[in-house]
């Protein structure tokens, strides 16, 4: 069998779709907190915006993930989800009103929720348990390559036209359209539909009740960590507050994503060889070091080191966690299992972002980052003590 046989046509297409979608999104993400502050958003309101947007994604991930399982189809959810996210990009160029920004971000995250469970299930269906770390790692690497190219494009744009955010939002629509085009080359895999009835929107996490105990232990621990893992926007705001320029902040974000791109695929290999638990535990310990160090950082070179290590943390946890969770459920329930995992994590991000914004304003950034670092260490210890049969 060829060495890279696990990189099937569908894996390549999904990775390219994610690359161009992330290029579009990440042209805006690092400048978004700066733009929001320029139109009057406080740190607390930025946390509220990010939290509500992720909550929307969270509820819809679980709901549409189970629909995908029930129908035995993945591709339509991928197509509509990426399409909706692309269409929201030019909306931000129309108005600067806070309610409009909330609407655009919410629709963007609804698109993410629509596609995520089905896309991750499609990736899982394309491979075997022995190669899932590699497949999810490769996908995350390609996805994050867009997060390198996007901020680079934004940095070049703002260097030539400082403060001109709105036209940048229109330009971000172009790679989004390319991503939509790639979705039409996807082919549906024949799958056995799930026999579980689709639950109503307000009961989207009902899979939790019937999930295997190992799934609940692992996902429960990761969601507990997510309750304190606030939006990356807070790290960017901290760097700006400590004296870095707008270009410097975007440069840090590019560095973070460049390290992520370089590390995600090799660490996916490592997860397949050593088991996902070891890599996740190491990643959480690294997260604690990053957040603990960020609270004390003031010089540009310390922030550069922190954002570089943050890229290694992300590469050793995000794709690896999906690979682990997908091995803890029945194949027919993969969409619901991954959708529930992603959905609970997104809802936890609402709490995390609101909490971090409130703690920042009341006690300062040191407390906000220090608390997250402490929780990461506790969760890392818990996962390290799980019985070996928990899919690790």
pLDDT, tens digit, 9 for 90 and up, residues 65-80? 777 877 878 888 999 9
Residue 238 lies in a domain: yes
Average pLDDT over residues 161-179: 81
The b/e string for 128-160 (b: 16+ C-beta within 10 A; e otherwise) is eeebbbbbbbbbbbbbbbbbbbbbbbbbebbee
Distances (CA, A) of 62 to 19, 193, 225, 286, 321: 23, 16, 19, 29, 17
Residue 35 lies in a domain: yes
Per 3-state DSSP, the chain is made up of helix, strand and coil in percentages (nearest 5) of 80, 0, 20
pLDDT at 328: 86
Residue 200 lies in a domain: no
Give the whole-number percent of the chain exceeding pLDDT 90: 14
- In the chain, how many domains are there? 1
pTM above 0.85, yes or no: no
Residue 139 lies in a domain: yes
Residues 24, 34: Cα–Cα separation, whole Å: 17
pLDDT digits (tens, 9 = 90+) for 296-334: 877 878 888 989 999 899 888 887 888 888 888 887 777
Residue-range definition of the domain harbouring residue 256: 9-186+210-384
Residues 302, 292: Cα–Cα separation, whole Å: 12
Residue 48 lies in a domain: yes
CATH code for the domain in which residue 95 is found: 1.20.1250.20
Mean pLDDT of all residues in the chain?
Answer: 81
Residue 1 lies in a domain: no
Residue 389 lies in a domain: no
Q: What are phi and psi of 244, to 5 degrees?
A: -75, 150
Closest listed residue to residue 304, CA positions, set 324, 290, 284: 290
pLDDT at 388: 58
Residues 41, 164: Cα–Cα separation, whole Å: 18
Residue 3 lies in a domain: no
Closest listed residue to residue 88, CA positions, set 172, 179, 29: 172
Closest listed residue to residue 27, CA positions, set 176, 168, 174: 168
More confident: 111 or 7: 111
Residues 217, 224: Cα–Cα separation, whole Å: 11
């Amino acid at each position: 069998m060829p060495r890279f046989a696990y990189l099937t046509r569908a894996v390549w297409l999904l990775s390219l779709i994610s690359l161009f979608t992330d290029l579009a999104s990440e042209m805006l993400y690092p400048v978004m907190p700066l733009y929001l502050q320029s139109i009057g958003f406080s740190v607390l309101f930025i946390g509220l915006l990010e939290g509500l947007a992720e909550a929307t994604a969270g509820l819809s991930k679980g709901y549409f993930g189970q629909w995908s399982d029930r129908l035995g189809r993945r591709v339509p959810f991928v197509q509509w989800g990426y399409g909706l996210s692309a269409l929201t990009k030019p909306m931000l160029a129309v108005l600067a009103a806070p309610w409009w920004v909330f609407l655009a971000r919410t629709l963007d995250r609804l698109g993410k929720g629509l596609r995520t469970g089905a896309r991750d299930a499609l990736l899982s269906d394309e491979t075997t348990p022995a190669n899932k770390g590699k497949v999810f790692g490769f996908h995350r690497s390609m996805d994050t390559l867009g997060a390198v190219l996007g901020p680079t494009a934004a940095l070049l744009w703002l260097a030539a036209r400082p403060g001109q955010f709105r036209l940048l939002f229109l330009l971000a629509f172009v790679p989004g359209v390319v991503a939509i085009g790639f979705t039409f080359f996807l082919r549906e895999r024949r799958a056995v539909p799930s026999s579980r009835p689709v639950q109503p929107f307000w009961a989207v996490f009902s899979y939790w009740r019937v999930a295997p105990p190992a799934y609940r232990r692992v996902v429960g621990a990761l969601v507990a960590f997510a309750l304190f893992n606030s939006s990356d926007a807070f790290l960017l705001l901290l760097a700006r507050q400590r004296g870095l320029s707008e270009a410097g902040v975007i440069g840090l974000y590019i560095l973070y994503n460049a390290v992520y791109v370089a590390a995600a695929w090799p660490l996916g290999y490592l997860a397949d060889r050593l088991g996902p638990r070891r890599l996740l535990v190491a990643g959480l310990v690294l997260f604690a070091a990053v957040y603990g160090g960020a609270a004390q950082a003031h010089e540009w070179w310390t922030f550069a080191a922190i954002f570089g290590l943050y890229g290694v943390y992300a590469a050793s946890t995000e794709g690896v966690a999906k690979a682990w969770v997908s091995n803890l459920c029945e194949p027919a329930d993969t969409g619901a299992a991954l959708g529930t995992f992603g959905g609970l994590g997104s809802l936890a991000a609402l709490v995390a972002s609101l909490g971090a914004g409130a703690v920042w304003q009341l006690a300062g950034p040191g407390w906000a980052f220090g608390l997250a670092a402490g929780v990461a260490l506790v969760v890392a210890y818990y996962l390290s003590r799980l019985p070996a049969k928990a899919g690790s």
